[in-house]
Amino acid sequence: MSKTAIITGGGSGLGQATAVRLAKEGVNIAVVDVSEKGGNETVEMVKELGPDAIFIKVDVSKAEEVKKYVDQTVEHFGSIDYFFNNAGISGSGKYFLDTDISEIEQIVGINLMGALYGVRYVAEVMLKNGGGSIVNTASSAGVIGQDSVVTYSATKHGIVGLTKSMVAEYAKDGLRVNAIAPGPTETPMVKAFYEANPEMKANATGGIPQRRLGTADEVAELVTFLLTSKAEYINGEVIRIDGGFTNTK
């Protein structure tokens, strides 16, 4: 029987790359994103590889919309086996005291509350079915402090706490929850951030021992490994994928 995955932020970047990678393993995908264009593009990419896919337009900062994507996935596919809890935004790159309160609220709403709501509703379904696997997207800014991304960093540290604490409560019931901590990666979100803050790209690349940004495909390989049965005894881990970036901090 085919497995089913939900991917938030599935319309581009890490989410889209992971959808394609999981589809190559025969996994059906519920693509969740605020962008209809990107979400539907991912659906077509998945279907071309054979598995079924649906797009669900959602603002993950709203609990009722998160519940909607969970309910629609179960209605269409019958179950949820994997969850890539990935939707997020970076913010403007302003120093914290120059950041508008509205931006702080938006980042927290999408990155942290959206992730909490997702785990809350998805894990409920998984536990009823005997378990499942979740990968949360943290960040290098979730394992070290970084300037210009204070609110983003705070939300990603929160993702680490969510990951570890869910394992403490529910690993005994068949739930696996891990997190990835990507460093600077070639995605549309990161590209837009660096276009607005060009000096930060040079600083970031220079600080990576491998002297390049990561790729979405590299991250997708890690997420696929962590989600699937190949990683059955890995639980509560935060896996850095950053070319050595945080190792030097």
Catalytic residues: 152
The DSSP result for 151-180, as a single string, is: HHHHHHHHHHHHHHHHHHHHGGGTEEEEEE
C-alpha separations of 70 from 89, 126, 156, 194, 220 in Å: 21, 11, 23, 33, 22
User: Is 31 within 8 Å of 54 (Cβ atoms)?
Assistant: yes
Dihedral angle of Cα 195, 196, 201, 202, to the nearest 10 degrees: 100
Distance CA 55, CA 53 (A): 7
What is the distance between the terminal CA atoms of the chain, rounded to a whole angstrom?
A: 45
Distance CA 40, CA 34 (A): 11
**Residue 36 C-alpha from the chain's centroid:** 18
